[in-house]
Amino acid sequence: MLRLITGRPGPSGFGSASTAEQVTHAIDGSNLTAIVTGGASGIGMETARVLAKRNVHVIIAARNMEAANEAKQRIHKDNKAARVDVEKLDLSSIRSVKAFTDNFKALNLPLNILINNAGIMFCPFQLSEDGVEMQFATNHLGHFYLTNLLLDKMKETAKATGIQGRIVNLSSIAHICPYKEGIRFHKINDKSSYQEKLAYAQSKLANILHANELSRQLQEGGANITVNSVHPGLIMTPLMRHSALLMRTLRAFTCFLWKNVPQGAATTCYVALHPSLKGVTGKYYFDCNEHKPSKLARDEALAENLWDFSNNLVNAARKT
């Protein structure tokens, strides 16, 4: 807590006050290609901007193409040499995820880094077009399917270039307070007991479990790809549009805990690019330092069950 308040660096040399530019200083990513979901606004856009500043070829994957193109223009305004492209992606739609990956593969680009950043927060109960509770569908299931579809491309790239691939899942400290059972496999779409904050926490717990199980599988298979999850910190971004009044009130009493957007993107950029994390996988980071997530997030059996459950949901959606 003291480090969080003061910004004092941790073992990595960085802390809560570090910005994305600072943690990637002097890193050259000119031989890298990255996909950033939700890169049209907030910390996703800052992540895309800083990666592009470090010469990474960035693909902004976003639902709102107008916002994505505006983000691209803003990045180019400050960095005319930036390599930035945009592609449409609606993570709440299995059909859209498949279309995005088909379009990306048609570009015949390598893929070194996948940043699963996009998300929604505290929204009222609704179902996705595939019939899955919207926060779970968008924050977890869409990224789960996206990652699976891109894994072969990442493996091919890592093998051809010798450069280790990196997958980064954006979770949240909120993962510590989901529904009592962690993931409500049998009540994922239960409107009567739905609580938007617990459902959000459930989806963020799923992000860590997904990263951990995928990390285990890739290690077992000998793939040269790491998978880690991060908590970006408390940042006022468009993600909080469903609870803006609550968040502003909370911020008034906890102002010393909040970050600005450049600080909020720091941990993502650190885990995605910093050379000190070569070979590090299956870990959870915030403030650019490794931390231990909740007991549920470390439950290997729960992670395996979530993997099977997610596969079943995807397979069911693909048949409709």
Q: How many CA atoms lie less than 13 Å away from 222 in the CB half-sphere?
A: 1
DSSP letter (8 states) at residue 285: E
CA–CA distance, 57 with 40 (Å, rounded to integer): 15
The closest of 131, 118, 128 to 92, measured between CA atoms, is: 128
Task: Spell out the residues 6+ positions from residue 108 whose beta carbon is closer than 8 angstroms to its own.
Answer: none
Contact 261, 237 (CB under 8 A): yes
Quote helix, strand, coil % in the chain, to nearest 5: 50, 15, 35
Catalytic residue chosen out of the listed positions 145, 179, 194, 284: 194
- CB count within 10 Å of CB 217 equals 14
SS3 218: helix
284 is catalytic: no
- Please say whether the beta carbons of 56 and 29 come within 8 A: yes
Longest dimension (CA), the chain: 52
Q: Give the other-Cβ count within 10 Å of 61's Cβ.
A: 32
23: which 2 tokens? 């943690």
Q: Which residues are catalytic?
A: 194
